[in-house]
Structure 1
């Protein structure tokens, strides 16, 4: 006897349920790790490091460590957007942005000021930072590779965006996320902050693949 259509539907629903549960379990196990990209820097030395804005303290400490280990000789940052900056300037009020705060951490830690460059940009996103760096390297044709330092959960998307922005410049991008980032890639679902980071990052990845990459021509 052949199974009835009703039985077939039941089997199909069971299979779909098993598939869904498997996908969810795999996502919980590997979803956090897929966001992290860390390249081998063994053959890299005395190059330019691009410090991405966002979480100032831990990212700046990661850049400092790479500088002290002689992996980086120059540290670049893009000026980030500060809501209300013009209104504050009209009132002669100056508030340091992420780049200025990061520079202060680095110089107070012993990095010479001439080793740090803040690139104008008013950046609101990683895409804006990448495009500002692309414009800046047009006057620095000697550069053939860069180190990206950011948070662990941001490192995969950041490298995607910078590779897209610089793909016609012959520049190799190395990702070296800060080791001082508290993000736990394996047990991300156990921490409320990490849950928010992972959820937001996958939404931003979807936005990149569906829209943002086509805006970077």
Structure 2
């Protein structure tokens, strides 16, 4: 009887631990390493563009590659174009900016940017995306870039509306976490993750 109660309590504790840490699991990131190019994924594009400009200005790379073809933003333009305008506004030379404006998913971000990197002979890249999107991005990019010899570093942008420790306190954050886990499972079932 005592063993059964202990198992039930242990089960509840484990479930609570997993739920409380679900947001933290999604957020992974590394310190930037000097690279040939900084790849910036679309979606909430301006904060990502601004962070990539900061990395550029700190000397982490002299080339920006903005990736994203979705137009479902307040500008009505492709994500890559919105980020390009932001970079030009902050005095990044046009010749130091490349666009990939066909992708509409993380998988396509990885596939299309891989082709560009290989065509240009780039050997290293910093991947920039939202903190909550980083786990899935990292899994997808690592699988897609496997055996290319291209070194990837993953640097996440903090999302002011998503706190990984307190994700369960806001509807927006709950939606993000559930959506990311559903997408991770979907990508896994399609064989798109490491």
* TM-score of Structure 1 vs Structure 2, range by shorter chain: 0.7 to 0.9
Task: Give the corresponding residue for 2:109.
Answer: 129
Contact 2:35/2:126 (<8 A) preserved: no
**Structure 1: any 5+ residue segments left out of the alignment?**
1-6, 84-93
Counterpart secondary structure, 2:186? helix
Task: Give the corresponding residue for 1:63.
Answer: 52
Quick check: 1:178 aligned with 2:178?
no
Within 1, Cα distance between the matches of 2:149 and 2:166?
37
The Cα of 1:60 is off from its aligned counterpart by: 1.1
Which whole-Å deviations, capped at 9, do the CAs of 1:68-92 have from their partners, x for residues lacking one? 1111211112341448xxxxxxxxx
Contact 2:69/2:100 (<8 A) preserved: no
Which whole-Å deviations, capped at 9, do the CAs of 1:94-121 have from their partners, x for residues lacking one? 942111111111110121111110125x
1:107 to 75, 78, 88: 88
Counterpart secondary structure, 1:138? helix
Task: Give the corresponding residue for 1:195.
Answer: 174
Contact 1:146/1:172 (<8 A) preserved: yes
Contact 2:40/2:65 (<8 A) preserved: yes
Task: Give the corresponding residue for 1:31.
Answer: 22
Within 2, Cα distance between the matches of 1:213 and 1:32?
22
Which whole-Å deviations, capped at 9, do the CAs of 1:46-83 have from their partners, x for residues lacking one? 53000001111211111111111111211112341448
Which whole-Å deviations, capped at 9, do the CAs of 1:150-200 have from their partners, x for residues lacking one? 000001110111111111211111110113543211111112211111111
Within 1, Cα distance between the matches of 2:107 and 2:11?
33
Aligned residues: 192
The Cα of 1:123 is off from its aligned counterpart by: 1.3
Contact 1:50/1:75 (<8 A) preserved: yes
TM-score by length of 1: 0.79
Larger Rg: 1
Within 1, Cα distance between the matches of 2:148 and 2:161?
34
**Structure 2: any 5+ residue segments left out of the alignment?**
none
Within 2, Cα distance between the matches of 1:181 and 1:172?
29
Quick check: 1:54 aligned with 2:63?
no
Superposition CA RMSD, Å: 2.3
Q: 1:182 to 1:213 in 2, by over 3 A?
A: same
